Amino acid sequence: MSNSSEFNYRKDLLEEAMLKTIVAVLIAIIINYINGTLLYTYFTNQTFHSNSRYILYVQLVINDMIMLSCTVLMVVLAYLSYLINVSFCITLILIGINTFLNTPLTLAGMAIERFVAICYPLQHPLICTVHRTYLFIACIWIVGALPGFTDLILTFILNPLSFFPMTKLCFRQNIFTSVYHQNNNVACNIIYMCFVWIILFYTYFKVMFSAKSAASDQALVRKARKTVLLHGVQLAICMLSFMSPILDSGLYILFPQSRSVILFCTYIITNMLPRLLSPLIYGLRDQNFKKHMKRSLLCRRPKAMVKPTADRLQ
């Protein structure tokens, strides 16, 4: 390759890397801005703080923001410096694994909350308390951290200490390379996803059958049934990330010269765009939250309540 052609090739690679970085960062900023508006709406309205449904919803939003920020940081660092310190890379990977698994676990918790609200309405205030909801969220983070913690232990066992100060391209398959890591990844994903799907199917059909009860609020039951069904849709879209290696392999055969473009596009579709679902499914469907969200976007304060005449005369 001549000097001029090599220069042009490197220039094209640099321009492509810069374009991908800008696109990824812009999408992340837009999504996190929307989710940040949801958080602002939640934290500036005390009425949401005592409702387990909204607490779990905010947990999902915060989790998505952390996951998105972490994965975009990995993408940017990969394009800018190419090689990253292994210890720092492992930290980012562990956060990414934890937050990725937290999403289906939180969806399962939200489905259970709707199931209790519809099927056991009298017990709902006693079962889904604020304290128990926070304990459940803590359990989600602990359970979601177990696969990554297992990968970390395997890494310490299988690699010398000199491995951690090294620099490598930062993605999971390049750091956790052993067959034990691969088996742990596959086993955990199967167990977690099967567990969540079983909960979603169970709660959906229980809510659907409860609609036959004459004492049930039919409108509330229909809304809860749609919500649980949307949990399933969101989970199915989140599971696209499991299909991305198969999709990538098929596209490599068709477009062998576009490997980096394929990887970037599948990352956008399977990891970034699903983070938009939370505000679209919950923030816009819930009329109460939607009302407060509009007020937050327009920077309006709630109207002061007018006291009854008898109260003002006292």
Which residues lie below 8 Å from residue 235, measured CB to CB, with a gap of 6+? 103, 104, 107, 193, 196, 197, 200
- Model pLDDT, residue 301: 55
In sequence order, the β-bridge partners of residue 186 are: none
Least confident of 38-42, 79-83, 112-116, 201-205: 79-83
Least confident of 118-122, 206-210, 295-299: 295-299
Query: What is d(CA 167, CA 178) in angstroms, rounded to the nearest whole number?
Result: 18
- Model pLDDT, residue 172: 82
Cβ count within 10 A of residue 81: 12
pTM of structure: 0.82
Which residue in this structure is represented by tokens 């676990």? 105
User: What average pLDDT does the segment 135-163 reach?
Assistant: 92
306 pLDDT band, cuts 50/70/90, is very low
The sign of the dihedral angle between the CA atoms of 175, 197, 244, 249 is positive
- Give me the CATH code for the 3-294 domain, please: 1.20.1070.10
- Model pLDDT, residue 272: 81
Query: What is d(CA 234, CA 276) in angstroms, rounded to the nearest whole number?
Result: 10
Which residue in this structure is represented by tokens 């750091």? 175
- Model pLDDT, residue 212: 55
Q: What is the mean pLDDT of the chain?
A: 79
Expressed in percent and rounded to 5, the helix, strand and coil fractions of the chain are: 80, 0, 15
Q: Hey, what are 237's tokens?
A: 């879209």
- Model pLDDT, residue 90: 92
- Model pLDDT, residue 132: 93
User: What average pLDDT does the segment 73-81 reach?
Assistant: 81
Least confident of 6-10, 174-178, 204-208, 214-218: 6-10
314 pLDDT band, cuts 50/70/90, is very low
- Model pLDDT, residue 305: 41
Cα–Cα distances in Å, from 100 out to 33, 64, 140, 160, 192?
Answer: 20, 8, 11, 28, 11
Cα–Cα distances in Å, from 59 out to 113, 182, 214?
Answer: 14, 29, 34
Q: Is the pLDDT of residue 12 over 60?
A: no
- Model pLDDT, residue 224: 67
Q: Is the pLDDT of residue 8 over 50?
A: no
> Could you state, in order of their start, the residue ranges of all structural domains in the chain?
3-294
